[in-house]
């Protein structure tokens, strides 16, 4: 199954670039920038990755990104991710970044976006991995801060395909950001939002009805609401599910009880993603491997998940067909 997954063409649609910061690279960049990390060693940092909820992770995630200072740092971070997923036959990536996590500590929007974008452009050339960049608003901050961030993004519009919403979910419903998402839609950005990772089904309804999202990031708590499940299935609203993230952040107690099979039975358009792979113990293929046993190692379902990832991407219909055909060719060659 491992080798089937390894060569399966696939897309990643829920990936925080700051969440790909491996401890080894973090120490390297800290030394380059003369920054003292509050951890003694790579091993000590690894040991700190023990979370019982989203906020435990976010505290350490924001601490980690503090090491990123120069355009080269953002480039190196993004390049390291691309090298990893190139070896996993990932064919298309849509990457989140958190501009407020950088601007608020004095790093310019330009520094972050230019470093990330130039690495992705180089990755397209060298690995033939196509890409999109989605900037996320930090939902624990207020809407005015998000509006200022949207204004910073406008001069870089050609480098950014979409706008998302991440960080601490509880107490920060999508409704808090209705105005800024309306502005983002007017500016022509695609719209996504984290909803239903820890927050109630109501937050998913708000993401759909108020923000007018084109994908739901996570969406696990939709399982509590049969009416919502029917709607998500009817609209074929893509869900970017992140299995290793779910167990690491205790959204799901045990992978054996992951809702993925029930999501598929309910007819939802599910995709598999890694979220913050350096912190959650695996990149895209490790996430496919983690859920393979609970779908009885069914290659057709694994292939369906990969096809869903291309079909849910912000790419043209012809790009979708071309990439989906790669999955079909791969299956046909096996049989
Ligand atoms: N949830 C919310 N915010 C995040 C996450 C996540 O899984 N990863 C990085 N920021
Ligand atoms: Zn996420």
Query: Structural domains in the chain?
Result: 2-334 (3.20.20.140)
What is the pLDDT confidence band of residue 1, given thresholds at 50, 70 and 90? confident
Q: What is the pLDDT of residue 335?
A: 76
Averaged pLDDT, 249-275: 98
Averaged pLDDT, 103-119: 97
What is the pLDDT confidence band of residue 334, given thresholds at 50, 70 and 90? confident
Distance between Cα 331 and ligand 1 center (Å)? 33
Q: Is 28 a catalytic residue?
A: no
Distance between Cα 332 and ligand 1 center (Å)? 37
The enclosing H or E element of 190 equals strand 190-195
260 closest CA partner among 249, 276, 244: 244
Indicate whether residue 16 lines ligand 1 (CB < 6 A): yes
The sheet carrying 215-218 orders its strands as 10-16, 90-97, 130-138, 162-166, 190-195, 215-218, 238-241, 269-272
Listed in sequence order, the DSSP H helices in the chain are 2-7, 23-32, 42-47, 54-65, 71-86, 99-103, 109-127, 143-153, 178-186, 201-206, 226-234, 243-248, 260-265, 277-280, 284-291, 299-311, 317-334
* Mutational pocket test of ligand 1: of 166, 219, 242, the residue with most ligand atoms within 8 Å of the beta carbon: 166
Distance between Cα 72 and ligand 2 center (Å)? 24
Question: In this model, does residue 232 exceed pLDDT 80?
Answer: yes
């Amino acid at each position: 199954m491992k080798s089937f997954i390894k060569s399966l063409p696939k897309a990643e649609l829920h990936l925080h670039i700051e969440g790909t910061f491996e401890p080894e690279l973090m120490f390297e960049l800290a030394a380059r920038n003369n920054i003292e990390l509050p951890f003694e060693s790579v091993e000590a940092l690894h040991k700190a990755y023990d979370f019982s909820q989203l906020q435990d992770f976010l505290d350490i995630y924001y601490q980690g990104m503090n090491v990123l200072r120069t355009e080269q740092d953002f480039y190196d971070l993004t390049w390291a991710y691309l090298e990893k997923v190139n070896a996993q036959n990932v064919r298309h990536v849509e990457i989140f970044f958190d501009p407020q996590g950088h601007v608020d500590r004095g790093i310019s929007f330009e520094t972050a976006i230019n470093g990330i974008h130039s690495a992705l452009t180089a990755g397209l050339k060298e690995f033939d991995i196509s890409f999109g960049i989605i900037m996320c608003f930090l939902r624990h901050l207020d809407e005015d801060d998000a509006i200022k961030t949207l204004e910073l993004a406008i001069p870089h519009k050609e480098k950014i395909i979409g706008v998302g919403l991440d960080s601490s979910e509880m107490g920060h419903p999508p409704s808090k950001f209705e105005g800024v998402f309306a502005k983002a839609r007017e500016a022509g950005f695609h719209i996504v939002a984290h909803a239903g990772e820890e927050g109630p089904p109501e937050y998913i309804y708000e993401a759909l009805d108020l923000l007018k999202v084109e994908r739901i990031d996570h969406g696990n708590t939709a399982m509590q609401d049969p009416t919502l499940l029917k709607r998500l299935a009817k609209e074929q609203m893509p869900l970017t599910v992140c299995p290793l993230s779910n167990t690491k952040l205790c959204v799901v107690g045990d992978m054996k009880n992951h809702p993925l099979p029930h999501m598929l039975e309910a007819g939802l358009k599910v995709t598999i993603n890694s979220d913050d792979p350096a912190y959650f113990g695996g990149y895209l293929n490790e996430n496919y491997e983690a859920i393979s046993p609970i779908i009885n190692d069914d290659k057709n379902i694994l292939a369906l998940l990969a096809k869903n990832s291309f079909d849910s991407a912000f790419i043209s219909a012809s790009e979708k067909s071309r990439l989906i055909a790669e999955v079909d060719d791969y299956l046909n060659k096996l049989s």
